[in-house]
Amino acid sequence: MIDVAAYLVFFLCLALIYGLVCLGLNLQWGFAGLFNVGVVGFFIVGAYTVAILASPAAADRVGGFGVPIPLALLAAMAAAGLVAFVVGIPTLRLREDYLAIATFGIAVTIQLVALNWETLTGGTHGRVSIPRPLASVFVDRVNANLFFLAITLAIVAAGYWALERMVRSPWGRVLRAIREDEVAAGALGKNAFAYRLQAFVIGSALMGLGGGLYASFIGYVGADDALPTLTFQIWVMLIVGGSGNNKGALIGAVSVWGLWSFSGWFMAAVLPSAFAVRAGALQVILIGLVLASVLLLRPKGLVGEEAVVSRGARVK
């Protein structure tokens, strides 16, 4: 029973971290209509930032700066935001698909850096011994996970609250206006490019924060964390939960991560280990079919977007 509870804590930590990434994607796609196919790139930039700043010195590796985790997490957000800023400048003025292609490209490029720039990223060995906050206080594994869950919950709650404030503010209304009709919004004097860039940078910073938390929680980050499968998973979470709704993003993250973890556990239990590669393939196929069915049968997702005019005024 304690095992199950301990696993549940571990599961929720990861699900909430992905929930945070999903909230970032929801700001970009759900509210601003920005199509980011490089989620994993921003996530992994955040993860390596925390790994480099916070982990102890090691031979042949850049590191040993001893930056405390809270500061390292802020740096992770800044680093991911900076990458988004650079990618956004040439692409956010163009048709939406160009951003899709460019973000796909940046994620592939960052994956190559993760694999090959060994002094920075550890290459295939990855970066190890990334500390957790207050690691000396919470030594016992169960308590350490519980404490981390509390931190993650607090960060996700703060992020959720801030995003809800933002999307219900005049700023959020302009964002949705641009998404719906750029020409009309432009006629009202709104600079679509500037708003898009803001949403893209803030959303990517949240992805970087998620990556930073992940690195600290797992204690390790490597090139195999930079695979495009993560981008796909986050997208499925958002589509299943309901894009344009922050609650939907979190519900989608927990339910899809649950389905992913359960199917992985189930296949490991049923199939012999020789089929590990094929079991991994089956898992992706399963999630892909979930995505396809939701897109076809319930494109609004589980929750769907609320029709909100402004804070306090709800319209059905």
Q: Which residues make up the interface to another protein (CB under 8 A)? A: 29, 33, 35, 37, 87, 89-91, 94-98, 100-102, 104-106, 108-109, 112-113, 115-116, 228-229, 232, 235-236, 239, 277-278, 280-282, 284-285, 288-289, 291-292, 295-296, 299
Q: Tokens at residue 291, please? A: 């995505």
* Axis-axis angle for helices 96-116, 69-91 (nearest 10): 130
Backbone angles phi, psi at 313, to 5 degrees: -105, 115
Reference 20, options 176, 211, 218, 293; nearest CA is 211
Nearest distance from C-beta of residue 235 to another protein, angstroms: 6
Nearest distance from C-beta of residue 191 to another protein, angstroms: 19
CA-to-CA distance for 113 and 119, rounded, in angstroms? 11
The smaller minimum CB distance to another protein, of residues 168 and 300, is found at 300
Largest pairwise CA distance in the chain: 62
* Residue 27 DSSP label: I
Nearest distance from C-beta of residue 267 to another protein, angstroms: 12
The smaller minimum CB distance to another protein, of residues 21 and 236, is found at 236
Nearest distance from C-beta of residue 246 to another protein, angstroms: 19
Type of residue found at 23: L
Check if the beta carbon of residue 211 is closer than 8 Å to that of residue 43: yes
The smaller minimum CB distance to another protein, of residues 91 and 145, is found at 91
The smaller minimum CB distance to another protein, of residues 126 and 131, is found at 126
List of residues 6+ apart from 100 with CB closer than 8 A: 35, 36, 37
The smaller minimum CB distance to another protein, of residues 44 and 53, is found at 44
| Coil, strand or helix at 313 | strand
The smaller minimum CB distance to another protein, of residues 258 and 299, is found at 299
CA-to-CA distance for 152 and 21, rounded, in angstroms? 12
Reference 147, options 162, 159, 131; nearest CA is 131
Nearest distance from C-beta of residue 98 to another protein, angstroms: 6
CA-to-CA distance for 161 and 1, rounded, in angstroms? 34
The smaller minimum CB distance to another protein, of residues 253 and 291, is found at 291
Nearest distance from C-beta of residue 138 to another protein, angstroms: 38
Residues paired with residue 308 on neighbouring β-strands, in sequence order: 314
Nearest distance from C-beta of residue 89 to another protein, angstroms: 8
The smaller minimum CB distance to another protein, of residues 27 and 37, is found at 37
Q: Where are the alpha helices (DSSP H) in the chain?
A: 2-25, 39-54, 69-91, 96-116, 118-121, 141-167, 170-180, 182-187, 192-218, 229-241, 246-270, 276-297
Check if the beta carbon of residue 42 is closer than 8 Å to that of residue 211: yes
Nearest distance from C-beta of residue 173 to another protein, angstroms: 20
